[in-house]
Amino acid sequence: MEPSSGLALPPGSDPRWRSRYLRTAHDDFLSTGHVDRGLRPLVVESWRRSVGHGVDPELSAPPIRLADDRLADLRAGHPLAAAMPVIRRLLLESAADAGLLVAVSDAAGQLLWVEGARAVLAKAERVHFMAGADWSETAAGTNAPGTALALGTPVQILGAEHLTRSAAEWSCSAAPIHEPDTGAILGVLDLTGGPEVVTPQTLTLVRATVAAVEAELALERLAPRRAGRVMERGWSPPLRQPPVLRVLGQRGARLTHDETSTTLSLRHSEILLLLAEHPAGLSAAELAVALSEEELSLVTVRAELSRLRTLLGPLRLASRPYRVDDGLTSDLTVLRGHLATGRVRQAVAAYPGPLLPTSTAPAVAELREELHMLLRSALLAQGDPDALLSFADTAHGHGDYEIWAAALAALPPRSPRYAQVAAHVDRLDGVLA
């Protein structure tokens, strides 16, 4: 295992043997201070930090810092509150079915949300793995959420890699969540359970969920769901935010402005997307050409614009040329930002599917193809196996031979997914042949 790796187990390792070894090495460290060479440096350094902070390895449970009213206040004002629906959708349902817990902390290591199967929650509460408890390294010793915060990187902790004996029956995979603009850590996403949560694919799932959360936060910055939300560590959104149009993977665009969200017809989605792409505005004639390969009368275009105007509420659709005076942005802004900075994992998370996939409007179809190819090109150029597989596992990537072949080339042969990816490449080979 690489010394710097956040993975608790290299691919192919036996978690039962590793768990037995860790219990012996942990006892040896506590009784004599001896550090066995088989321990991960990440763990040893965390043990030493924790002991230096005065954490007692015999600690039965870390402190509960937040009373119910204070916890409710922190949840309500925390930026990650807006991302909890994403976490629940992507992670919680499958985790609960598997007997696992999903936890989200703030930047100080205080658990704000802990959710999962009721029986597992009750068991975890005995060691204070519950909302309101402090699981920072300084309070709880070595653990995945606290150590991920201390290091600023994804971390897995297996059983007796925890400093405290009371936590040794648990294992966890955690990754920090960053503020999209500044990179500051907002908190940690954690998956907790038995040894099954320290597989490489589990950490990949946690990291992919974090990327989706960060993409959601970037959109939240453009159109906060609640006016005046003040984020931790001094961040506060501008008082006036532009409306946001979400068109990626949508048959009908969703327009979000202040606290309202409206799903639009395909034609209105196309028009608003084109206006978002051309903030200086478009004439009725330009819209007619962009919307149809066949001749579209200006009367028809103006009639659609008139109907659209009634749906926009407080937003002002100006004319000569047609434009949204309040300023209009789309989720393409987030995707393009990730691509421009080389953050392909975040780009994949921000790409739920092709732009307005059922649209046949020439300008929309051209933009859809351009964005899809830009993302594919970035993935193929970087060769990041996690990003490639995240894209390949989607409906729009399932049949993409180049992406699957690149993922196979990027994966180490001992990867748990290597055989499955190789088989899928063979199937695509047969189809293409």
Provide the residue ranges of all domains of the chain, joining segments of one domain with +.
15-222, 242-382, 383-433
What's the average model confidence in pLDDT over 279-291? Answer: 90
Decide if pLDDT at 259 tops 80.
no
Q: Are 327 and 279 in contact (CB under 8 A)?
A: yes
Decide if pLDDT at 350 tops 90.
no
Decide if pLDDT at 343 tops 70.
yes
Minimal CA–CA distance to 13: which of 46, 40, 49? 40
Decide if pLDDT at 94 tops 70.
yes
Supply the pLDDT for residue 258.
64
Decide if pLDDT at 231 tops 50.
no
What's the average model confidence in pLDDT over 210-222? Answer: 82
Decide if pLDDT at 257 tops 80.
no
Decide if pLDDT at 356 tops 90.
yes
Supply the pLDDT for residue 226.
43
pLDDT, averaged across the chain: 86
Decide if pLDDT at 380 tops 70.
yes
Buried residues in 300-315 as b, exposed as e (16+ CB within 10 A): ebeebbeebeeebeeb
Q: Are 187 and 176 in contact (CB under 8 A)?
A: yes
The token pair that represents 227 in the structure block: 């006016």
Start-to-end C-alpha separation, the chain = 40
Minimal CA–CA distance to 345: which of 221, 205, 250? 205
Minimal CA–CA distance to 43: which of 69, 13, 9? 9
What's the average model confidence in pLDDT over 195-215? Answer: 87
Bigger pLDDT: 343 vs 166: 166
Q: Does the global pTM surpass 0.75?
A: no
> Which superfamily does 15-222 belong to?
GAF domain (3.30.450.40)
Supply the pLDDT for residue 233.
40
Decide if pLDDT at 328 tops 80.
no
Q: What is the pLDDT of residues 105-142, one digit of tens each?
A: 999 899 999 999 889 999 999 999 999 999 999 999 99
**3-state SS, one letter per residue, for the chain:** CCCCCCCCCCCCCCHHHHHHHHHHHHHHHHHHCCCCCCCCHHHHHHHHHHHHCCCCCCCCCCCECCCHHHHHHHHHHCHHHHHHHHHHHHHHHHHHHCCCEEEEEECCCEEEEEEECHHHHHHHHCCCCCCCEECCHHHHCCCHHHHHHHHCCCEEECHHHCCCHHHCCCEEEEEEEECCCCCCEEEEEEEEECHHHHCHHHHHHHHHHHHHHHHHHHHHHHCCCCCCCCCHHHCCCCCCCCCEEECECCCCCEEEECCEEEECCHHHHHHHHHHHHCCCCECHHHHHHHHCCCCCCHHHHHHHHHHHHHHCCCCCEECCCEEECCCCEECHHHHHHHHHCCCHHHHHHCCCCCECCCCCCHHHHHHHHHHHHHHHHHHHHHCCHHHHHHHHCCCCCCCCHHHHHHHHHHCCCCCCCHHHHHHHHHHHHHHHC
What's the average model confidence in pLDDT over 222-227? Answer: 50
- Percent of the chain whose pLDDT exceeds 70: 91
Supply the pLDDT for residue 149.
92
CA distance 375 to 122: 44
Supply the pLDDT for residue 5.
53
